[in-house]
Structures are given as structure tokens and as C-alpha cells.
């Protein structure tokens, strides 16, 4: 992804779940995480499609096999930093990453930045994940292309992060639990056969909200929360899903019956986030209006 016309180059990671069209339009460099499954390693967003990986996960679950994830090494980041620094006149590199609370990707980028001497590298912990991170990357691109200096760009994306909310539900907690990504929601584990969790991603970790009876009610409850949080009008709404396209469309309409947004999209979870949440996961990532 050529960024030669920018003096500040932007790097992110595959946990941002940027749709391929966004990667092309934004012209950012995405460093992939790796997903390890049945003795094979797949680069997130490169070696396996969403649908194929979800099929593999469903088959593996029946066999008691769950995927594992591996973050990029500092050497991986140094190699990318060297490549993007060669693209035109480079003043700095802005490296934007998923919450340090759920992945060591941010720490790898920090270590790489300390080793890299060609140009300054600013590493940002978004405290977000999936399209929460992705929207912050897009905001950074807009700010850089508008000519804002690096400090102003960072302030702008951090301000966006403070207006962002994430609520989601999963078909089963097994993936979050066994992958060690359940955060403060450990209280939800056990005795949950008939109940479905409503969870949030807050302060960089998975946080419990409540348990409700049945999937339909869990989605309805999230729609209610979105309406409450936005006051019926938000800036942006992203519905993210893992192999649940039909449910995602219905979920979107359910939310839009209660609140309106300037921008609405439906996207799939990448292999890394999908391996943590599991097939059937559905979430709403939304941005409050400024001053709300």
C-alpha cells in the first residue's frame, strides 16, 4: 500500500479488521497477526478467507480443537517500518494498534520503534479492537491527509476513541475463555446454558454487562443499550459478525429502528478476532456524537 505522498506514514495490525476496500483506499500498511490451527499457521487477512476460517473453526470445535493466535514480532514491525520509510519523504511513522490488554502486538511495535532509527515512530494503543481500531486508523488517515502535525493526529484519534462504544454477544464463551481473552467477564462462565451474555469492550478489555435469556433477547438488549448511549442519534455504526451475515443484517435493522447514524456498515471479523469470539459472534461498534 503506497503512502509515498504522505510525510507521516501509517501502520496498523490485522486486528483492526479493515475491509480490503478500506486498506486500498486508505493506503495504510497492515501487519498481520498469525492464527495457528491444526499445526498450520495462517496470516490474518492474507492466507485464509473469513468464510473458510469459520468453517474450519466449526469443524475443529466438534473435535475439541481451538485456534491460537500469535502476535507479530518486533522484527516484523522493523521490516515494515523500513519499507514504508523508503516511500517518499518520511517525517514520521504512526503505528496504531489494538488494545495492549488483549494482545502483545502493541508491545512488539513499541520494541520495534525503540530499535528503529531512520525516522521517529509514534506507537498508539487504541484501547480498542476490530472496527473500533479500524475507525481510528481511518481518522488518522484523514488527519494526516489534511496536513495536521503528528501530535494533533494522535489527539484527534484519541478523542475519537473516547466517543467509541462496543457491545457484543457470542454464541458460546468457550472461545473467549480458552483463548484467555475474557477479561472481567469471568463471572459469566459456568451455568450459562440457557443464558446469553451481553458484553462490552471497555478500558481495553472484555467487560460483562448482563446475562439475558436467549440470543434474540441478547441482540434486542444491545439495541436498547445503543439507543440509550447515543440518545437516539450517533455518528457511526459498525455491525461486526463472525459467520452470521443474516443475523447481522437483522441486528442492524433492529438498532436502526431505535437510533439513527450518519454512517452505517456491516463487516466481518478477521481470523484473529474471530478466533477469540467464535462463530456466531455479533457486535455493535458505534461512535457517539461530539458533545453527547
- Residue 141: pLDDT over 60: yes
Residues 268, 124 share a domain: no
Query: pTM here?
Result: 0.92
Residue 24 lies in a domain: yes
Angle between helices 74-85 and 105-115 (to 10 degrees): 60
Residues 265, 225 share a domain: yes
Burial of residue 39 (number of CB atoms within 10 Å: 0-12, 13-18, 19+): exposed
The residue among 108, 127, 162 that closes a domain is 162
Residue 260 lies in a domain: yes
**261 CB contacts (<8 Å, ≥6 apart)?**
230, 233, 234, 235, 236, 237, 286
Q: What is the pLDDT of residue 266?
A: 98
* Mean confidence (pLDDT) of the chain: 91
Our CA angle for 111, 112, 113, nearest 5°, is: 90
Residues 147, 14 share a domain: yes
> Residue 1: which pLDDT band, with cuts at 50, 70 and 90?
low
- The percent of residues in the chain predicted with pLDDT above 70, rounded, is 93
What is the residue range of 184's domain? 164-288
Neighbours of 257 (CB within 10 A): 10
Q: What is the pLDDT of residues 222-267, one digit of tens each?
A: 999 999 999 999 999 999 999 999 999 999 999 999 999 999 999 9
Could you give the number of structural domains in the chain? 3
The residue among 156 and 179 whose pLDDT is bigger is 156
Amino acid at each position: 500500500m503506497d503512502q509515498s505522498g504522505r510525510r507521516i506514514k501509517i501502520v496498523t495490525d490485522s486486528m483492526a479488521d479493515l475491509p480490503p476496500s478500506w486498506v486500498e483506499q486508505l493506503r495504510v500498511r497492515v501487519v498481520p497477526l498469525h492464527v495457528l490451527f491444526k499445526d498450520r499457521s495462517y496470516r490474518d487477512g492474507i492466507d485464509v478467507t473469513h468464510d473458510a476460517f469459520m468453517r474450519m473453526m466449526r469443524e475443529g470445535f466438534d473435535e475439541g480443537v481451538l485456534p491460537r493466535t500469535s502476535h507479530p514480532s518486533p522484527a516484523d514491525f522493523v521490516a515494515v517500518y523500513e519499507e514504508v520509510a523508503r516511500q517518499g519523504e518520511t517525517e514520521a511513522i504512526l503505528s496504531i494498534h489494538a488494545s495492549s490488554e488483549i494482545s502483545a502486538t502493541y508491545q512488539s511495535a513499541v520494541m520495534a520503534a525503540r530499535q528503529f532509527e531512520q525516522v521517529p515512530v509514534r506507537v498508539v494503543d487504541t484501547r480498542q479492537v476490530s472496527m473500533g481500531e479500524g475507525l481510528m486508523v481511518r481518522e488518522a488517515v484523514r488527519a494526516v491527509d489534511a496536513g495536521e502535525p503528528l501530535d494533533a493526529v494522535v489527539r484527534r484519534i484519541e478523542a475519537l476513541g473516547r466517543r467509541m462504544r462496543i457491545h457484543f454477544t457470542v454464541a458460546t464463551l468457550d472461545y473467549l475463555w480458552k483463548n484467555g481473552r475474557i477479561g472481567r467477564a469471568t463471572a459469566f462462565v459456568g451455568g450459562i446454558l440457557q443464558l446469553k451474555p451481553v458484553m462490552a469492550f471497555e478500558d481495553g478489555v472484555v467487560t460483562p454487562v448482563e446475562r439475558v435469556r436467549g440470543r434474540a433477547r441478547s441482540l434486542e438488549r444491545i439495541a436498547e443499550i445503543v439507543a440509550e448511549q447515543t440518545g437516539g442519534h450517533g455518528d457511526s455504526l459498525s455491525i461486526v459478525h463472525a459467520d452470521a451475515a443474516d443475523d447481522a443484517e437483522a441486528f442492524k435493522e433492529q438498532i436502526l429502528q431505535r437510533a439513527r447514524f450518519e454512517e452505517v456498515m456491516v463487516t466481518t471479523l478477521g481470523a484473529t478476532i474471530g478466533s477469540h469470539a467464535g462463530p456466531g459472534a455479533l457486535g455493535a461498534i458505534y461512535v457517539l456524537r461530539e458533545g453527547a
